[in-house]
Structure 1
Amino acid sequence: MQLIECPWCGSREETEFHYGGEAHVVYPEDPESLTDEQWAHFVFFRANPKGLFAERWNHSAGCRRWFNAVRDTATYRFHSVYRLDEQKPTIS
């Protein structure tokens, strides 16, 4: 069992968390002006890199808060976690 560090609750088992997708996705400034194809790209198309990736996570069985994490998608290892109001760390 892998442990994930919640910024508020500390280290907990991975079964307490739910993945929330790519972090730092910017909402369109004028969504009503988007075509159906552009809207579909915003909603469904996300990066899927091999390596370090910023993601959103929810501590659903704990404090129920959302936070961001930098995780290696090849090894599943978490490199850092940070609250939504904190700046994204440099990913190299």
Structure 2
Amino acid sequence: MIIDHPLLGPRDASEFTYLGDASLIDRPDRDAPDAMERFHDYVYLRDNPAGEHRELWYHEHGDRSWLVVTRNTLTHEITKVELARDVALAQGRGA
């Protein structure tokens, strides 16, 4: 599988480490009244979708950037690759 890195161009997936659902960018607020419940769900509850899915990938054997990869889990077709920092900033979160 080839991941088209936004800064470095096409790279083999073996350079990357898959780190899970891209929703992990949305870390719960530790000061919220229900923080314990939110962190439990954040850490332990995961979807396993069939079809298009946004995932976090880490360029471990490269520039060490974090990417959000939109990939079809049935066909492995990648339709979009973004820097995680840009996704976080667009959502109003720090990177």
Interval of TM-score (by shorter of Structure 1 and Structure 2): 0.7 to 0.9
* Superposition TM-score, scaled by structure 1 size: 0.78
Query: How many residue pairs align between the two structures?
Result: 86
Q: Would you tell me which structure has more helix in proportion to its own residues?
A: 2
**Superposition map of 1:1-92 within 5 A:** 2-25=1-24, 26-29=26-29, 30=31, 33-35=34-36, 38-84=38-84, 85-86=86-87, 87=90
Q: In the aligned structure 1, how far is the partner of 2:32 from the partner of 2:14?
A: 35
Superimposed CA distance per residue, residues 7-44 of structure 1 (whole angstroms, 9 cap, x where no aligned partner) = 12110111101101111332222367434x65332202
What's the % identity of the aligned pairs?
33
Q: Unaligned stretches of 5+ in structure 1? A: none
* Superposition TM-score, scaled by structure 2 size: 0.76
